[in-house]
Structure 1
Amino acid sequence: MSDTSILNDYIAGCIGGGAGMIAGHPLDTVKVQIQTQEYGGKYSSLMDCFKTVNQQKMSKGFFRGLSWPLLSSSYLNAIFFGTYGLVLKKLDYLDDLTHKPSYWTLGFAAALATAPQLLFSVPVEVIKVSLQSQIPHSHDVPTTVSRKYYKGPFEALRDIAKTSGLRGLYRGFSTQFVRDTPAASMYMMSYTFFQYEAQLQQNVIPAQLTNFVGGGVAGVLSWLIIMPVDVIKSKIQADPAGRMYKGFWDCAKHLYSSGGIKVFFLGFVPMAVRAFPVNAVTLMVYSEVLEQLNRRTSISS
């Protein structure tokens, strides 16, 4: 894997990340709304949540909190896929699907690639979740944490930084690390498995379809294994001042006492519906862009 191909990984990850973010943010907003309500609280059903969010203007409803994740998703995915490619290069791993993939190597590379990404993604997540959790409901039931309503990400940033400092902006860092590391490993291992199995069919299945379906299934599988941690993360990051929860285990105990095991799977339906198209689009665009860039590189060299 040459230095040019690593640069191609960064560029392809950048473009794929932006495409996936736009596709999935509305359902992500619904997921966060369900996860951050008090258990048995303001929403009577999933459709009630959809209707409530839909009553707001798009920027205050389904797309509330989108701007910073959208602006950051490109470089965050560039960091992930670029670091992923760099780790594989350092391990002298030949990523061309001519031989059966070493899935443990791919999982290890993906896990390492999440570390530099978290330095930038956690503050963005804290601001995004804070904004998404504030969509009002006609029942007038308070959200998990009582705080001022933010007009946008800059106001959220200023208030969190003023009241809680850097610690508030990195609220839930360890929880997000526990969530993202196994998810990334499962993500790349599953996706490569689908790519490898598809190419064994002697190109009967179109590459674009393989990338789309493989990316979608990989996304759903990666989210399934970390769903309980994601619920805890949303709760903690919707509380940047730390008024409700002292940390991961304190939050987990409060959640379990309020609703048992099932509370850890709040937002499962919108997560599953969202995960397929978002990851399908992200990895399909990433793979297609990477292939075109590598092809142009080989022609010019």
Structure 2
Amino acid sequence: MTEKKKDKVLHSLIAGLVAGGVEATITYPTEYVKTQLQLDGTSGTKRFKGPIDCAVKTVQEKGIPGLYKGLSALVIGTAAKAGVRFLTYDQLKVLLQDENGNVSGPRSMLAGLGAGMVEAITVVTPTETIKTKIIHDQTRAKPQYNGLVHGVTKIIANEGLGGIYRGLFPVMMRQGANQAVRFSTYSTLKQEFQKYSGPPGQPLPALVTFGIGAIAGTVTVYATMPLDVIKTKMQGLKAKELYRNSFHCGWKILKEEGLLAFWKGATPRLSRLLFSGGIIFTVYEQVMTGLRKIEELKY
């Protein structure tokens, strides 16, 4: 019994790692554009008119590889955070399920909140900070970072370990909110579809899983976008000079840029999370199904 439980924990971790790596690689250009738009104007000069203009100018100036600057940091981080996220969520879900093995929407939201907080502390903050600084560095006349390893080395040398943990509070708030909204939306829709899809516990078709994941991603974007904007600003190269803390950052955004600035970069983030939600849940479910079948062959 104990061995079986360990296998299930390992399955969640493996499936999450694979799903996170696949999703990050496919959707990275939208993350790059979103981050550039959120940082645009921080130094006083506004360069981009919108997502398409940002993408076109980046390709014109740096070629298509320019849209993948900071990719390695995000792939490593996304794979790791997805592994931690699904592992934590699955374990919390077991603790919160009722006698029939079902998890209500509010309990799923609580499990998602816990998963988001854990991934923010262990993985997301350092990898997001590194990714943001590397992308922001590309706006300099003479970029200082020659890649992931060189960038991390210089950031730690100049700012200490705290330099890669910049913006921990807004990241925790964003990740907690992200996963609370995403998992509760996904699990609620999944349970509704499973009522009409056949025997209990029967896996949903991949296309249905993708659609439910995409809906969950869309809801997540608009519900948590202000936290994402504050997080990005707090991780920029000049954050220490401009903002005392996350609340001061939020106040300055509202006062200087207006309320709609909290949804800046929503379009590229939506395009990412729309597909991200579909991709990550579909890959996760497929890998878990495959791992269960392999496990069954052992007995």
TM-score (norm 1): 0.88
Cα distance change of structure 1 residues 240 and 165 upon mapping to structure 2, 3 Å threshold:
farther
Identity rate, percent: 23
| Preserved contact between residue 32 and residue 135 of structure 2 (Cα < 8 Å) | yes
Matched, 1:174 2:169: yes
Which of 73, 78, 81 aligns to 1:73? It is 78
1:200 pairs with one of 195, 199, 202: 195
| Counterpart residue number, 1:150 | 145
Gaps of 5+ in 1: 137-141
Shift of 1:129: 0.6
**TM-score, with normalisation over the residues of structure 2?**
0.88
Could you say what secondary structure the match of 2:242 adopts?
A: coil
1:13 is matched with which residue: 2, 13, 16?
16
C-alpha displacement of 1:92: 5.2
> What is the CA distance between 1:133 and its match in structure 2?
2.2
RMSD, aligned α-carbons: 2.4
CA distance in 2, matches of 1:267, 1:52: 16
- CA distance, structure 2, for counterparts of residue 94 and residue 69 of structure 1: 39
Deviation at 1:202, TM superposition (A): 3.1
Deviations 1:71-122 (A, max 9, x none): 23222211111111122233455796xx5x4112211112112233222221
Rounded to whole Å, the distance in 2 between the matches of 1:94 and 1:14 is 30
State the partner residue of 1:184.
179
Q: Which has the higher contact order (CA 8 A, sep 6+)?
A: 1
> Paired residues, what number?
289
Post-superposition shift, 1:234? 0.6
Question: Where does structure 2 lack aligned partners over 5 or more consecutive residues?
Answer: none
Offset at residue 247 of structure 1 (A): 1.3
C-alpha separation between the residues in 2 aligned to 1:94 and 1:4? 22
Q: Is the contact between residue 137 and residue 144 of structure 2 (CA under 8 Å) also seen in structure 1?
A: yes
Residues 164 and 77 (structure 1), Cα distance of their counterparts in 2 relative to 1, 3 Å cut? same
Distance of 1:128 and 1:94 partners within structure 2 = 43
Match of 1:28 among 22, 28, 31: 31
Alignment of 1:1-301 (within 5 A): 2-38=5-41, 41-55=46-60, 56-59=62-65, 61-91=66-96, 101-118=103-120, 119-136=122-139, 149-203=144-198, 207-239=205-237, 242-301=240-299
Give per-residue Cα distances to partners, 1:35-85, cap 9 Å, x unaligned.
Answer: 0011781112332211112221333x1110001221232222111111111
What is the CA distance between 1:250 and its match in structure 2?
1.5
SS in 1 for 2:243: coil
Considering fraction of residues, name the structure with more helix.
2
